[in-house]
Amino acid sequence: MTTPENTPPISIDLVIDARWIIPVEPNDTVLEHHSLIVKAGRIHDLLPTPEAAARYTGKEHRRLENHVLLPGLVNLHTHAAMTLLRGYADDLHLMAWLQEHIWPAEARHLSPDFVHDGTLLACWEMLRGGITCFNDMYFFPEDAARAALAAGIRAALGITVLEFPSAYGTHAQDYLDKGLQAREKLQGEPLISFCLAPHAPYTVADTTFELIATLAADLALPIHIHLHETMDEIASSLEQHGVRPLERLQRLGLLNHRLIAVHAVHLHDDEISLLVKSGCHVAHCPTSNMKLASGIAPVGNMLAQGLSIGLGTDGAASNNRLDLFQEMRHAALLAKVAGLDSALLPAHQALRMATLEGARALGLVHEIGSLKIGKAADLIAVEMDDWINQPCFDPASHLVYVTGRESVSHVWVNGKSRIDNKKPIDCPHDMLLKISQMWQNTLSSQSARG
């Protein structure tokens, strides 16, 4: 963008002056005293602040003198509505947690209202923590979409598929039909996209997987699936199918650039090579993997082979925070200690995993994930002027190892302010507290009655 001398400044929607800007692309870049220009919800320009002052005048002008501006974070795997089950059953073995607590609670309470209210709470928690896009796997996607649109967050909603019945669907084809109908109804919403979301290899049959592979190709949809999360999953697959889950999916035609393998904890080197060769992506959920004692994903080997890795929180029932700052820190530290190499997964790479790689996995890299001219203005600002964050020699390092989601001060989605000075826009926090308390009372009452 150039403006001849003596030309009046161009009127623009939003000018943000920042102490630092980390655009994610190019890699390992930190811009000091730069400004980002937003027009019609998109990034119009990115330039040094003195040049911006001469070239543009903003209808809104934000001066963030001690902040880092960066792309909104992308949560590559969650079950948003399960925020209502945060802390409901903790410190248990995985199958006891699922079979004795989580699944019975869902059997009693799963409904459109449960999904809407839980997703709404999740959306505002994520926005407050700098997450501007999330990839969801749950039921009643129209109600999840209603909550996401009310919050103004970007959502990739799962067309969740199981073979067994729930309050949402009766069998695999029913789940698919309902999810595809929801996708058709919501196609005009710019913040909403969809993924095919077969739950896991142990809950989906071969014939259903073959149908999902065909639909994914025909509709150009990502496939979002739990894969190689536990050793039990792998043992079960060997017993029932004679092969490990990844090989089974390869035989059924699911391994390609659309596949998002969630967790991917237990992988051999040749399986990592297969994922790389096939162009697949991984949603790494380090906190959930630790809390459920699933294991430590071989992230060092994944990175060494060039596998695309994004970060996910999993649901609040198993994490218990929808907090990608925590995931960045845990991902970096776990990779270092597992590989006995303190240079593994440096800060800029962790930031890339929390932004650009998640966008790439969802097929949204042309829209979000980095601060490039022409992309959507999904932005967050993190304050660094609090004394507990000082001194700051390297803002990228600080974002991963020092600051937390409580330092996120401003959030924009598509250029629209959603968090301003740490306060939600158009959402009284009293309403969120009432929703949470109502469902806590309901769940506690039902649990007490058995």
pLDDT at position 6? 64
Mean pLDDT of 378-383: 98
Q: Any idea which of 279-293, 320-334, 422-436 has the lowest mean pLDDT?
A: 422-436
pLDDT at 446: 62
Helix then strand count (H, E) for the chain reads 17, 16
Over the stretch 109-155, which tens digit does the pLDDT of each residue have? 999 999 999 999 999 999 999 999 999 999 999 999 999 999 999 99
Question: For the chain, which residues make up each domain, given as ranges?
Answer: 10-71+378-414, 73-361
**Cα separation, 317 vs 86, whole angstroms:** 4
Beta-sheet strand order (sheet of 408-413): 42-48, 31-39, 10-21, 56-71, 379-383, 408-413, 416-420, 423-424
Rounded mean pLDDT, 179-187: 97
What strand order describes the sheet that includes 192-198?
Answer: 73-78, 131-136, 154-161, 192-198, 223-227, 259-263, 281-284, 308-311
More confident residue, 89 or 325: 325
- Phi, psi of 301, rounded to the nearest 5 degrees: -70, -35
Question: Is it the case that residue 449 has pLDDT exceeding 70?
Answer: no
What does the block give as tokens for 288?
Answer: 């959930």
Q: Map 11-72 to HEC letters.
A: EEEEEEEEEEECCCCCCCCCEEEEEEEEECCEEEEEEEHHHHHHHEEEEEEEEEEEEEEEEC
Average pLDDT on 256-261 reads 98
Rounded distance, CA 213 to CA 255, Å? 9
* Cα 433 from Cα 151, distance rounded (Å): 15
Share of the chain above pLDDT 70, in %: 98
Q: pLDDT, tens digit, for every residue of 388-403?
A: 999 999 999 999 999 9
pLDDT at residue 2 greater than cutoff 60: no
Cis peptide before 135 (omega within 30 of 0): no
Query: Could you please report the per-residue DSSP string of 126-188?
Result: HHHTTEEEEEE--S-HHHHHHHHHHHT-EEEEEEEE-SS--SS-SSHHHHHHHHHHHHHHTTT
At residue 4, the pLDDT reads: 52
Residue 251, pLDDT > 60, answer yes
**441: helix, coil or strand?**
helix
CB-based contact 441:182 (threshold 8 Å): no
The pLDDT tens digits of the residues spanning 13-58 come to 999 999 999 999 999 999 999 999 999 999 999 999 999 999 999 9
pLDDT at residue 448 is higher than 80: no
Read off the DSSP letter of residue 100.
Answer: I
Given a cut of 50, whether residue 1 has pLDDT beyond it is: no
Residue 176 vs residue 386, higher pLDDT: 176
What average pLDDT score do residues 60-65 get? 96
Does residue 3 have a pLDDT over 60?
A: no
- Following DSSP, what letter does each residue of 172-192 receive, concatenated? HHHHHHHHHHHHHHTTT-TTE
Q: Across all residues in the chain, what is the average pLDDT?
A: 95
- Closest by alpha carbon to 122, among 308, 403, 323? 323
Question: Rounded to an integer, what distance in angstroms lies between the CA atom of residue 265 and that of residue 261?
Answer: 10
Please answer whether residues 409 and 421 qualify as being in contact, where contact means their C-beta atoms are separated by less than 8 angstroms.
Answer: yes
Report which of 125, 129, 135 is spatially closest to residue 77, judged by C-alpha positions.
135
Q: Which DSSP symbol is given to 194?
A: E
Listed residue (82, 80, 78) closest to 439, CA to CA:
82
| Cβ–Cβ under 8 Å, residues 77 and 285 | yes
Residue with the bigger pLDDT between 7 and 209: it is 209
Q: Do 227 and 201 contact (CB within 8 A), yes or no?
A: yes
| Partners of 263 in the β-ladder | 227
* 431 contacts: CB under 8 Å, gap ≥ 6: none
127/130 Cα distance (integer angstroms): 5
Which tops the pLDDT comparison, 262 or 98? 262
pLDDT at 429: 84
| Contact status, residue 380 vs residue 70, Cβ threshold 8 Å | yes
Q: For residue 54, how many other CB atoms are within 10 A of its CB?
A: 13
Note the CATH number of domain 10-71+378-414.
Answer: 2.30.40.10
Position 96 scores a pLDDT of 84
CATH of 73-361, one of 3.30.2130.10, 3.40.50.10300, 1.20.120.530, 3.20.20.140: 3.20.20.140
